[in-house]
Structure 1
Amino acid sequence: MRSAAPEPPDTRAAELVRSAVLADLARRVVADCGADVGLVGVPDARGAEGAEGAEGAEDAMVLRHWAGTRADLLHNLRVPAGTGLGGRALAERAPAWVPDYRAATTISHHYDAAVGADDLYAMLGVPLVHDGAVHGVVYAALRTVVPFGDVRIGAVAELARTATRALAGAAAWGGRAAGRSAEAGLTPREHEVLRWAATGRTNPEIAARLGLSSHTVTGYLKSAMHKLGARNRVELAVAARERGILG
């Protein structure tokens, strides 16, 4: 069976930034908003390849980032639109909250076991919206029954807006960086190796990460140096940054 083609470097870089932003969002919900648990659901990439009868990627999310959890039943949980609290926020494209998840009558109870395993009660879900599209949902949850006031809802919503702006900016930058890389004559693989080299990774480390040989990595770096007029790795990184290839 043929292996999947490698992702373009701009796609890989954008995904790394996206993951970092969303992981930080989960942590900040706990640190800045007084929640016991922070969760972030992202669009489900499986779509039609998921379980039989599964909704498409635009109609479901998977909980990929978390902070403060004690159990693992919420980890990587798939939530179709309209199910549970986050699924309701996803479907309505608006914040949703309940003071006591287990007793709530305004949501479905597909995930009571997972919520109960983490001893959660009050829960808030805020969709991550940009240009009318929902890019996920951030949750704030408490291990006590308490109504969500405007201050806490506003704080989580502001974190969601900040994260969404960061995601949009990273995506836009990734597109520009890829264009500048192509203008410099770099191949996608040269660009990818260059990005890792600029972070201080050694050739063997880059080779292990990308599934290449050290000799191949050396070849890509030498080719990139030639194209950018650099004599060593330091000059290569400087030249790439000056041209906007690395930001």
Structure 2
Amino acid sequence: MPTNPHEALLRPRDGDALRAELRHTASLADVPVLFGGEVHDGNLLLSEFIGTRTNGLKGLTVPATSGLGGRVAHQRRPASVPDYRTALNITHHFDAPVLGEGLRSVIAVPVVVGGISRAVLYAAVREATPIGDRTAELLTLSGRRLATEIAIRDEVDRRLRMLGTRDTASGPGDAAVSEGIREAHAELRSLAQDTTDGALRGRLRAVADALAGLLVDDAEPSAVALSPRELDVLSHIALGCTNNEVAHRLSLGSETVKSYLRSAMGKLDARSRHEAVVTARKLGLLP
């Protein structure tokens, strides 16, 4: 059970994101079987399946270097076998469940984050014919997207752990802690924009909104509603970033940043960027 109140909002199961990638690949690739699982402590646990006919692979634990998946996880690069039954470059510890499912040609792709395999995605057919290049490419792209998604979630968790130091600090006025909260708030908003997972984006913004009120004891009731992008821009302006720096951080054009900033200033009835930040903080819109 989460001990940090923000952990209730994060972290969604990485297995759900893995399943979504498999479904996406299934919608585009002409391949009957897709499956995969997460890697924990070097062991791959198969948990997500599309197109399987038996339960032989469900819950299977694949140690590092064992079978095709263990080898892929260990070497951190894709590999395939045109005929699993006769393949000489893998161990055959899992022949019973694999062949019991009728799988012959198999490709496996690792999901590598920070140099560590975090999951493995598979595509397979029941004939001894090589997996097509299109399927291999789609599976590889899914692996990359999933790696990006997991990396974002890891960074969010790291930022939230950093905020735990606030509990031992001297109080909301502690300059270093206050600055850390503001940096985390801006980073969470950036990460929310980067993720392709709509549910995760909503959770990230919810945590950012919760952070916005941490440094304000009595925020004034706000009738001002800033758009997500206006808040994104203003949160980085609050860190002292120039318009060009904000544009770089948020992958926006400089003129677009200026437009969002002008709009936010208008809503906040502010005559300068500094005044806009001060007003947003008083209203609890920024930490």
The interval holding the TM-score normalised by the smaller chain is 0.5 to 0.7
Q: In structure 1, how many angstroms separate the alpha carbons of the residues matched to 2:162 and 2:7?
A: 12
Give yes or no for the alignment of 1:171 onto 2:171: no
Q: Which structure 1 segments of 5+ residues have no match?
A: 45-56, 186-197, 200-223, 232-240
Pairing 1:25–2:8 present: no
Aligned residues: 185
Range 77-86 or range 33-42, more displaced: 33-42
1:108 lines up with 2:91 in the alignment: yes
Aligned to 1:71: 54
Which amino acid counterpart does residue 38 of structure 2 have in structure 1?
V
SS of match in other structure, 1:16:
coil
Deviation at 1:127, TM superposition (A): 0.7
Contact kept in structure 2, 1:30 and 1:140, CA below 8 Å? no
Change (3 A) 1:9 1:152: farther
Residues 41 and 116 of structure 1: CA distance in aligned 2, closer, same or farther (over 3 Å): same
Offset at residue 80 of structure 1 (A) = 0.4
Q: SS at the partner of 2:77? A: coil
- SS of equivalent residue, structure 1 residue 145: coil
In structure 1, which of residues 159, 180, 201 is the aligned counterpart of residue 142 of structure 2?
159
Q: For the structure 1 residues 230 and 22, does the alpha-carbon distance in structure 2 shift closer, same or farther, using more than 3 Å as the test? A: farther
Q: Secondary structure at the match of 1:61?
A: strand
Contact 2:113–2:150 (8 Å) recurs in 1: no
Aligned partner (choices 144, 169, 172) of residue 127 of structure 2: 144
CA distance in 1: counterparts of 2:56 and 2:112, whole angstroms: 26
- The 5 Å alignment of 1:190-209 reads none
Shift of 1:14: 4.3
Distance 1:39 1:130 in 2: 19
Deviations 1:188-229 (A, max 9, x none): xxxxxxxxxx99xxxxxxxxxxxxxxxxxxxxxxxx9xx786
Displacement of 1:98? 0.8
CA distance in structure 2 between the partners assigned to 1:167 and 1:228 by the alignment: 36
Moved more, 97-106 or 26-35: 26-35
Counterpart of 1:92 in structure 2 is: 75
For 2:53, what is the secondary structure of its paired residue?
Answer: coil
1:102–1:24 Cα change, 3 Å:
same
Residue in 2 that maps onto 1:34: 30
* Per-residue Cα deviation, 1:1-36 (whole angstroms, up to 9, x for no partner): xxxx64545556544242321111222232222222
1:124-144 deviations in Å (ceiling 9; x for gaps)? 111111221111111111122
Q: TM-score, normalized by length of structure 1?
A: 0.62
Asked whether the 8 Å contact 2:124–2:131 carries over to 1, the reply is no
With normalisation by structure 2, the TM-score equals 0.54
Q: Contact conserved, 1:40 with 1:138, CA < 8 A, in 2?
A: yes
Displacement after TM superposition at 1:151 (Å): 3.0
SS at match of 1:71: coil
Could you say which structure has the larger radius of gyration?
2
User: Tell me, what secondary structure is at the counterpart of 2:93?
Assistant: coil
Q: Deviations over 1:19-71 (max 9, x none)?
A: 32111122223222222222122123xxxxxxxxxxxx1x2111122222221
Q: Secondary structure at the match of 1:164?
A: helix
Q: What residue in structure 2 maps to residue 132 of structure 1?
A: 115
For residue 97 of structure 2, give the secondary structure of its aligned residue in structure 1: helix
Alignment partners' CA distance in 2, 1:122 and 1:243: 54
Within-5 A mapping of 1:213-232: none
After superposition, the CA RMSD in angstroms is 3.5
* RCO comparison, higher one (Cα < 8 Å, 6+): 1
Partner of 1:207: none
Q: 1:237 matched to which residue of 2?
A: none
CA distance in 1, matches of 2:48, 2:128: 24
Change (3 A) 1:9 1:18: farther
